[in-house]
Amino acid sequence: MKKYLLLLLLIRISCLAHAQSGAGNYPDSLKNVLKKQLPDTSRVWTLLLLSDHFSDKDTAVSLQYVRQAAALAKPGSYQEAMVEFYRAGAYFETNFEKSKAAYMRAEQLFSKFRNKEALIFRSRAWHNFGALEQRLDNEKRYAEILIEHAIPLAQQAGDSARVVSNYRNLGIIFSNQLDYKKAEEYINLAIVALQRLDPGSLELADAYIFGAKNYIYLKDYPPVKPMLDSAKILLAGNPDLPHYTDYYLTEGMYYARLRQFQAALSSFDKGLAQARRLKRDYDYQGLMLQKYFAYKAMGDYPKALKIITQLVQQDDVFPSSKNRILYYYELAQTTAKTGDMANAFKWLNQYAELADSSFMENSKTEIAALEAKYQSSEKEKKIYQLQSKNEKDALTIKNNRLLNWLLAVVCLFLMAVTVLVLLFYRNNKRLWTQEKQLHELEMQKIKQDYRISMLSAMLEGQEQERTRLARDLHDGLGGLLSSIKIELSQAPVGADEKLKTSLGRTLSHLDDAVNELRRIARSLMPEILMNYGLAEATKEFCKNLKETGINLVCQVFNYKDSLPKEKQIVLYRIIQELVNNAVKHATAAQILVIIQQSGERLFVTVEDDGKGFDPEKINGKAGAGLSNVKARADFLNAKFDMQSKPGNGTSVTVECDI
């Protein structure tokens, strides 16, 4: 709890405390004062100062001093009111309900006194009571308390600094409600006023820190660092201040938004260490949540999952339904990112259930409020009935109308809530279905990439083997046949005409064999393809087949020869396979090969006027040649289109990117 020391207390004991302190510290000096013979009134003030000192460090010790002071305070006295106020402060971080009850007892006791200090303590009691309501997820009640109690009491006391502080708290509420521009107005007003009234106060440090946080929410980053630096100057010299937890939280958020994640994590860790040391569980949760968001933004989902799981498991700390809804939602998202879709679905269901229950709780609260208003109007009606029959009749009519209106509003509200819940549930279910479909598509893509990788390796192996065979045939067998031809041509035959004729026929066969060998070698790996590209190689291939008597026409349009060699080889093999299929199976009078480039797309078409076939009858039963063509087209990520009818020939088109 923040230290706000009474001027009266300082007047009464400061001389004693400083006289005894010497080189000691503040709590030791107060303990030394207690060793002296003091009136009960002075002893009570000293005990309350010690309780205040330990309130945010050690709850048990703080309560011990409060109980000692309570035993000395006279019933109904000003000191009894002070005891209840500091008792509430001792419970502030650990037991919300006891703290709230003590603040209300202090308010009742202080209300008997009309001096300035009593008004200030009443304002503080209401403010702290509202802060506890905020921590219990009732921020609307906190705003009402500030406007209806805390600010008016501070104004009556003439405490301008406290009025400014409460306006700063209203700025915090607007920020929590996502109205950051409105929050900016209030917080800047508070900073300007505090700079004038108390430029070295911790209140001003608080205002700087929150102002920096609000600018982060506005995504207006330039003012953030100067504000944090100003706050750090005010906090310097006292490392045990609880303000540091919020300072490191804001600093970490700032670095995280700038994607300086290591600096952000370092700031969060400093804040967590301070929160653990001071036992500030609420601040600890906030720091852990921001650390989770940092890991999530970094893409380190295992670490993020570990943190959000820890937050969800903290059942007894600050049971805010909004926080728990957020935790479940983030846990579902992060679990899905790690690939554990089953647990992600489980957490998403819990998120939906908690969101539904939150809607129902709000509905019950609204109905209870309406019922309370109705009961109040009924009591008023009875009073008016005793006064006058006419007033009774008029009030009855008015209340009946009001009741009907309220019932209609409640029904409409419940219908709206029901519709919203159903829409929310349906949207979440659709989102889950979409994520599942996306996962399936990703798995299909992985499988397709694997298949293409295997196909690439297979095709590369085939091309390497073709190259080797072509080289071996040309260099090995080709050379051997040439040597045989040379030796036979030099053999002495004399005048034997029959031997000359036989030898000439053999040499002719050898020429045919050498030519066929060269054709096979060129077919396996044509040098013209590697040297001059796809178009020239295809023309040469068609020319060689045409010399065998096949009516084959090759046409090339707008081809720029900009295709990578690997793709040219695959397309050349597709053309070879399609032409060979037409020659073997189509009984075609003419075969047409077309290579056409249009922009960044290349079209390869092979048509024949042969006997054709029914594509429906061969689905799933295609031969090895057609299967190879489709596999190579898949490898190129190309479109494969085949048109054929019995008696009308066949047309196959492969379309791929350059």
Residue predicted with more confidence, 456 or 221: 221
Task: Look at residue 283 and tell me if it is in a domain.
Answer: no
pLDDT in tens, 18-69: 334 433 477 888 888 878 888 888 888 888 888 888 887 888 888 888 898 8
Task: Look at residue 522 and tell me if it is in a domain.
Answer: no
Task: Look at residue 261 and tell me if it is in a domain.
Answer: no
The confidence score (pLDDT) of residue 185 equals 84
Structure tokens, 406: 């309220």
What's the structural domain count of the chain?
2
pLDDT in tens, 421-464: 999 999 988 999 888 888 888 888 777 776 666 666 666 666 66
Angle between helix axes 78-91 and 40-54 (nearest 10 degrees) is: 20
Task: Of 149, 214, 128, 203, give the one whose Cα is nearest residue 177.
Answer: 214
With contact defined as beta carbons under 8 Å apart, do 68 and 40 qualify?
no
Structure tokens, 329: 């939602």
Secondary structure (H, E, C), 580-612? HHHHHHHCCCCEEEEEEEECCEEEEEEEECCCC
User: Does the pLDDT value for residue 117 go beyond 70?
Assistant: yes
Task: Look at residue 214 and tell me if it is in a domain.
Answer: no
pLDDT in tens, 312-344: 887 654 445 667 777 878 878 888 888 888 877
Residue 611 sits in a domain whose CATH number is: 3.30.565.10
The confidence score (pLDDT) of residue 338 equals 81
User: What gap in Å lies between CA 135 and CA 143, rounded to an integer?
Assistant: 13
pLDDT band for 369, please (50, 70, 90 cuts).
very low
pLDDT band for 491, please (50, 70, 90 cuts).
low
The confidence score (pLDDT) of residue 263 equals 92
Task: Look at residue 61 and tell me if it is in a domain.
Answer: yes
Task: Look at residue 257 and tell me if it is in a domain.
Answer: no
Task: Look at residue 226 and tell me if it is in a domain.
Answer: no
Region 501-513: mean pLDDT is 76
With contact defined as beta carbons under 8 Å apart, do 309 and 292 qualify?
no
pLDDT band for 184, please (50, 70, 90 cuts).
confident
- Provide the mean pLDDT of the chain: 80
Domain boundary among 108, 130, 152: 130
| CA geometry: angle 245, 246, 247, nearest 5 deg | 90
The confidence score (pLDDT) of residue 271 equals 92
The CA dihedral of 115, 117, 123, 127, to the nearest 10 degrees, is -160
The arrangement of strands across the sheet holding 601-608 comes to: 552-557, 591-598, 601-608, 650-657, 639-644
Domain boundary among 130, 147, 165: 130
Measured between alpha carbons, how far is residue 154 from residues 4, 27, 207, 405, 425 in Å? Answer: 14, 30, 18, 39, 47
Domain boundary among 95, 130, 165: 130
Beta partners for 606? 593, 652
- Domain around 580: 532-657
User: What gap in Å lies between CA 344 and CA 118, rounded to an integer?
Assistant: 54
Task: Look at residue 376 and tell me if it is in a domain.
Answer: no
pLDDT in tens, 307-316: 888 888 876 5
The confidence score (pLDDT) of residue 21 equals 40
Angle between helix axes 321-337 and 281-298 (nearest 10 degrees) is: 30
Residue 51 sits in a domain whose CATH number is: 1.25.40
User: Does the pLDDT value for residue 398 go beyond 50?
Assistant: yes
Residue predicted with more confidence, 293 or 488: 293
User: What gap in Å lies between CA 568 and CA 658, rounded to an integer?
Assistant: 10
Residue predicted with more confidence, 264 or 166: 264
With contact defined as beta carbons under 8 Å apart, do 44 and 72 qualify?
yes
**DSSP letters for 239-263:** TT-THHHHHHHHHHHHHHHTT-HHH
With contact defined as beta carbons under 8 Å apart, do 113 and 138 qualify?
no
pLDDT band for 121, please (50, 70, 90 cuts).
very high
